């Protein structure tokens, strides 16, 4: 037995609320047959021992200790670098409950398939039991889970991404309920890889991958797929959204939740540094979260949100002093990098970081410039505690969450979609979210740059039928509700020459300011069938220069193009059949008529 495996199991008490947990751990151990079992307490000593073990066996490579203290590089199996949507299943008794948006399997078949893979898979390995809490440990909005895994890399990442260890176990003991997540890296064979969800059993089984979204089960599997299902039955929302606070010169802070598909700039927006003029005037952006948002109505009718995560699992390529200086500061120490390149002096490097030359590529080979392939994997990542971020808000730890003033949807759209528009009311806003489209990115395996509908950026993450999900969203509009305004943005509109028309990054603050001024009734807009668009003069564009093409495309609206778009949205909604809420269909028809 290694040093880590000598700790005692959780307080054994057949009578305590941990009985169910103890029984499940015993059942999993009987199936997977590990050499030893280690209950994670989340302590520094435990982490140090795990890191030392991973450094010794080559799982982690120490980076330059002067420039990046206590930071590590992990090189994954080259076939295991992203989420695998085609191998991700939602197992409900009725296929219709999973919906056309999910791959489906009957629960009994799902369990049988997974249990056959798990049979004996931990022989020769240590089985780690990770109690964790998604959200501040004392928040009524938080939920607990336990992940069992045979990957020490997963343990080290879960320690950063969640509130993991003894306090979570204590909460599980108090509450008695938790989400069960069983994970094994198996043989890392793409042909023996599945990520299965059993929402009605609050259970996840994941085999054959060590990649974040497939293996850190607190993240996409629990906090989105299982939580979205729980949220529907309990009257809240689990969303793929960043949360930020926008503080104005008067010292008032408005909170904004924004949904963008994976690798579309959520981390950059969440950590935005305002342009110089704004900074001088006293504007500030506070980071609450960069990927996931759980919201529920408070006693005053507003939606209150928490970030269930405790860290960032951010996309490295493109992160730079220009795009996200706060992220660069955040990842300067105590960070795990996965699949980045390294420089000659062993510093992490990725495309877009700076002009230095990488020496070793993400696979560990000497970097060969002549091949023209990227040195870092396009989906290379950093895992880092949110507390290291200079803009991290103390309100992120508030058990009550923060009140949301605006919800933003957005995607990568090279054409048609203007910079920003406002939905006229909640139902229209739900349609705007449901109709969202975006070009695919490297965050999932498969083709990149293909436009697909990605409602509320939840296409890969909604744990049940999208038609029911849209009904659930619509149900929040009831007497007494004080719902946020809903907006749509597109930072990625291109001109005829293929260049981006909007500067993006810090300048996105100008758009956020307009949104908050719409909320407070201080900014103007023109009404159009697709929603309220700012005139150029409604936005503070001081210091920016736009040619006619940029003005037209960013602030204008192309009626014929939108007519075609709404026809395609109608067809998309029809794909969900009779479960699609009539109200959404009516909204689509209302706008189609206005466009005609
Ligand atoms: C992520 C993703 O890792 O969306 O956040 O893929
Ligand atoms: Mn994400």
For residue 480, give the CATH number of its domain: 3.90.228.20
- Here the CATH number for the domain that contains residue 367 is 2.170.8.10
Domain assignment present for 33: yes
Given a cut of 60, whether residue 9 has pLDDT beyond it is no
* Domain end call among 235, 268, 291: 235
Q: Which residue is closest in CA terms to ligand 1's atom 3? A: 213
Query: What is residue 2's predicted lDDT score, i.e. its pLDDT?
Result: 45
Distance from the CA of 13 to the center of ligand 1, in angstroms?
38
For residues 413 and 425, membership in a common domain is answered with yes
- Residue 554 and residue 464 share a domain: yes
**Least trusted range by pLDDT, from 306-310, 441-445, 566-570:** 441-445
Active site residue 264: yes
Among 40, 144, 221, 264, the one annotated catalytic? 264
Asked if residue 426 is part of any domain, the answer here is yes
Please tell me the total number of residues recorded for the chain in this structure: 596
Does residue 595 have its Cβ closer than 6 Å to ligand 1? no
Whether 440 lines ligand 1, by a CB cut-off of 6 Å, is no
User: Buried (b) or exposed (e) across 297-336, using 16+ Cβ within 10 A?
Assistant: beeeebbbbbbbbbbbbbbbbbbbeebbbbbeebbeebbb
Instruction: For 119-135, write each residue's pLDDT tens digit.
Output: 999 999 999 999 999 99
Residue 42: pLDDT above 70?
A: yes
Task: Please write the tens of the pLDDT for every residue from 70-90.
Answer: 999 999 999 999 999 999 999
Q: Does position 224 have pLDDT exceeding 70, yes or no?
A: yes
Do 271 and 371 fall within a single domain? no
6's CB contacts (< 8 A; 6+ apart) are none
Question: Is the same domain home to 209 and 251?
Answer: no
Per-residue pLDDT of 19-34, as tens digits, reads 999 999 999 999 999 9
Q: Are 317 and 357 part of one and the same domain?
A: yes
Q: 132: domain CATH number?
A: 3.40.449.10
Mean confidence (pLDDT) of the chain? 95
Residues 251, 257, 262, 268: what is their CA dihedral angle, to the nearest 10 degrees?
Answer: -10
Residue 316 Cβ contacting ligand 1 at under 6 Å: no
pLDDT above 70 as % of the chain: 97
- Give a yes or no: residue 403 inside a domain: yes
Domain-located, residue 160: yes
User: What is the Å distance from ligand 2's center to 412 Cα?
Assistant: 15
Q: What is the pLDDT of residues 493-507, one digit of tens each?
A: 999 999 999 999 999
Mean pLDDT check: name the lowest of 44-53, 154-163, 184-193, 367-376.
367-376
Q: What average pLDDT does the segment 270-276 reach?
A: 96
CA of 463 to the centre of ligand 2 (A): 15
Dump pLDDT digits (tens) for 355-365. Answer: 999 999 999 99
Q: Is the pTM of this model over 0.75?
A: yes
Nearest CA to ligand 1 atom 2: 262
Q: Are residues 93 and 124 in the same domain?
A: yes
Q: Please say which residue of 186, 220, 235 terminates a domain.
A: 235
- Residue 270, domain extent: 239-310+394-595
**Is residue 185 domain-shared with residue 244, that is, in the same domain?**
no
Q: What percent of the chain has pLDDT over 90?
A: 93
539 and 553 in a single domain? The answer is: yes
Residues 325 and 355 in one domain: yes
Question: What is the per-residue pLDDT for 7?
Answer: 60
State yes or no: pLDDT of 440 exceeds 90.
no
At residue 295, the pLDDT reads 98
Would 415 be classed as within a structural domain?
Answer: yes
Q: Is the pLDDT of residue 10 over 60?
A: no
What would the mean pLDDT of 578-590 be, rounded to a whole number?
97
**Structural domains of the chain, count:** 3
- Packing angle of the helix pair 107-118, 19-32 (nearest 10 deg): 60
Domain match, 297 and 347 both: no
Where is the domain boundary, 347, 368, 388? 388
Residue 520 lies in a domain: yes
pLDDT band at 446 (very low <50, low <70, confident <90, very high): confident
Report yes or no on 434 lying in a domain.
Answer: yes
Nearest CA to ligand 1 atom 1: 262
Cβ–ligand 1 contact at 213 (below 6 Å): yes
pLDDT at 402 over 60: yes
Residue 435: pLDDT band with limits 50, 70, 90: very high
Decide if 411 is inside a domain: yes
Q: How far is the CA of 428 from the centre of ligand 2 (A)?
A: 25
- Please compute the mean of the pLDDT values over residues 207-235 and round it to a whole number: 98
Same domain, 415 and 509: yes
At a CB cut-off of 8 Å and minimum separation 6, what does 533 contact? Answer: 418, 420, 421, 422, 525, 526, 555, 556, 557
| pLDDT value of residue 3 | 45
214, pLDDT greater than 50:
yes
pLDDT at site 11:
52
Token pair of 263, please?
Answer: 């690798």
Do 358 and 291 contact (CB within 8 A), yes or no?
no
Helix extents (H) in 344-465: 426-434
One domain for residues 291 and 359: no
Write phi, then psi, for 494 (nearest 5 degrees).
-110, 155
């Amino acid at each position: 037995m290694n040093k880590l495996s000598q700790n005692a199991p959780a307080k054994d008490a057949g009578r305590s609320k941990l009985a169910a947990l103890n029984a499940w751990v015993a059942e999993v151990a009987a199936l997977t047959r590990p050499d030893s079992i280690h209950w994670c307490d989340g302590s520094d000593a435990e982490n140090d021992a795990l890191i030392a073990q991973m450094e010794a066996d080559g799982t982690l490579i120490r980076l330059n200790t002067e420039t990046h203290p206590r930071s590590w590089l992990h090189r994954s199996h080259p076939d295991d670098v992203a989420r695998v949507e085609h191998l991700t299943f939602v197992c409900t008794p009725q296929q219709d409950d999973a919906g056309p948006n999910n791959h489906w399997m009957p629960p009994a078949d799902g369990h049988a398939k997974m249990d056959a893979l798990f049979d004996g898979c931990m022989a020769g390995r240590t089985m780690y039991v990770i109690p964790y809490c998604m959200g501040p440990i004392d928040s009524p909005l938080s939920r607990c889970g336990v992940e069992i895994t045979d990957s020490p890399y997963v343990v080290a990442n879960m320690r950063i991404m969640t509130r993991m260890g003894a306090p979570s176990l204590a909460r599980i003991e108090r509450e008695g309920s938790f989400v069960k997540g069983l994970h094994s890296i198996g043989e890392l064979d793409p042909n023996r890889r599945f990520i299965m969800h059993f929402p009605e059993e609050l259970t996840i089984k994941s085999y054959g991958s060590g990649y974040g979204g497939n293996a850190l089960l607190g993240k996409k599997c629990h906090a989105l797929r299982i939580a979205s299902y729980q949220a529907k039955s309990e009257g809240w929302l689990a969303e793929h959204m960043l949360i930020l606070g926008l503080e104005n010169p008067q010292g008032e802070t408005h909170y904004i939740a924004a949904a963008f598909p994976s690798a579309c700039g959520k981390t950059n927006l969440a950590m935005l540094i305002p342009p110089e003029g704004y900074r001088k005037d006293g504007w500030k952006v506070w980071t609450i979260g960069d990927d996931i948002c759980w919201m529920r109505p408070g006693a005053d009718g507003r939606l209150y949100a928490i970030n269930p995560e405790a860290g960032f699992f951010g996309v490295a390529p493109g992160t730079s002093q220009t795009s996200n200086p706060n992220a660069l500061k955040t990842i300067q120490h105590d960070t795990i990098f996965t699949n980045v390149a390294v420089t000659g002096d062993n510093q992490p490097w990725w495309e877009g970081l700076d002009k230095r030359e990488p020496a070793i590529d993400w696979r560990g080979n000497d970097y060969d410039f002549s091949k023209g392939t990227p040195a870092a994997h396009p989906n290379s990542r950093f895992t880092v505690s949110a507390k290291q971020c200079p803009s991290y808000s103390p309100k992120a730890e508030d058990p009550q969450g923060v009140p949301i003033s605006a919800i933003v949807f957005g995607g990568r759209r090279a054409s048609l979609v203007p910079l920003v528009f406002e939905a006229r009311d909640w139902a229209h806003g739900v349609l705007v979210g449901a109709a969202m489209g975006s070009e695919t990115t490297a965050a999932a395996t498969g083709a990149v740059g293909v436009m697909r509908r990605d409602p509320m950026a939840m296409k890969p993450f909604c744990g049940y039928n999208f038609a029911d999900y849209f009904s659930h969203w619509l149900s929040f509009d009831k007497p007494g509700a004080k719902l946020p305004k809903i907006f749509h943005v597109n930072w990625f509109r291109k001109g005829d020459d293929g260049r981006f028309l909007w500067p993006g990054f810090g300048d996105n603050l100008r758009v956020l300011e307009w949104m908050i001024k719409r909320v407070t009734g201080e900014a103007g807009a023109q009404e159009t069938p697709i929603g309220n668009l700012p005139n150029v003069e409604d936005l503070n564009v001081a210091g920016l220069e736009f040619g006619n093409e940029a003005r037209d495309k960013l602030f204008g609206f192309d009626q014929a193009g939108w007519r075609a778009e709404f026809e395609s949205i109608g067809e998309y909604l029809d794909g969900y059949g009779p479960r699609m809420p009539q109200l959404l269909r009516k909204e689509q028809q209302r706008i189609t008529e206005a466009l005609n």
